[in-house]
Homo-oligomer: A and B are copies of this chain.
Amino acid sequence: MAGKTDLDCLRHWRVEIPKGRVIYDAGEAPKAFYRVEMGCVRLQVNGDDGRRQILAFCLPGDVFGVDLERPRAMAAEAAAASELTRFPISERLGAAWRPEDWAGVVDASSKLVGVLAAHLMGLAHASAEERLMWFLDGLAARQGVNRANGALRPPMSRRDIADFLNLAPETLSRTFSRLVAQGLLERVDRRQIALRPRSLRASVRDQELRSAA
C-alpha cells in the first residue's frame, strides 16, 4: 500500500494517534487519506453482533483511506500508538491534482485490492496453522526481523491477529503452541517470536513425520 509517487507535494501534516483511537468509522464521508509513518493501523468492518473482521494491517509506508467519494466501507483504528501523515481531501476533489497524484491514489487503491485479495485467498481453504504461518511470513517480509536472532515483534494484540485470521483467540493461542511444539516457531520473550527460516521447514516437517511413524 506504499505510494510510489511523491504524495508530499499534496497538502499534508503529521498527526499522532494513541492506541485504540478510531481514525475514521464505516459510513463516514471521507475527509482525508493517510500514510502510516510509525505504529500500526487496522482496517476493519464491524459486524452488527459485535463481531469484527480485520481486513488489513497498515505498517509504516502504507497509504490507506483512498476509497474516496463514498461513505467509508470500513473503519480505521490504531492497533498501536501511531504517527500518521494526513492528506485532506478538498471539496473540489482533486481539481488541482496532477496526473501523478491521481496515479498515486490509484496505485494505493490497487494495492489495497491486492492485499484484500491475498487475504481472502489466505483465509480460504487453509488450516489454522497455515493461516498463522502465512500471517507471520507476511509480517516478517513487510516489517523485517531482528537481524541478530531473527525475532519478530507483532505490533498488534493477539485479539487483533485472531480477528484478522478469522480464528477464535483460543484457537490462535493453541495454534501458536502447536507450532512451537513442532519447532516452526520459538518464543523469544513475551512479545517476540522467532520464525524458523523457510529453508529449514521442510526438514522440520520430515522429522515430525518420521517421529509420528
Contact = CB atoms under 8 A, between A and B. Distances in A.
Contact of A113 (B97, B112, B118): B112
Contacts of A111: 70
A124 to B, nearest CB: 4
Interface in A99-129: 99, 102-103, 105-107, 109-114, 116-121, 123-125
Given A45-B121, A117-B116, A120-B53, A106 B105 contact: yes
A95 interface: yes
Contact of A109 (B4, B53, B95, B106): B106
Contacts of A80: none
Interface stretch (A14-22, A61-69, A177-185, A195-203): A61-69
Contacts of A192: none
A107 B55 CA distance: 19
A51 B125 contact: yes
B113 A51 contact: no
A175 interface: no
Contacts of A66: 106, 110
A74 to B, nearest CB: 5
Interface in A120-147: 120-121, 123-125
Given A73-B113, A116-B117, A125-B47, A94 B99 contact: yes
A120 B55 contact: yes
Contact of A110 (B70, B102, B117): B70
A93 B70 CA distance: 25
B93 A124 contact: no
Contacts of A68: 103, 106-107, 110
A166 interface: yes
Contacts of A102: 94, 97, 99, 102, 106
Which 5 residue pairs are nearest across A and B when measured between Cβ atoms?
A73-B114, A67-B110, A102-B102, A116-B116, A53-B124
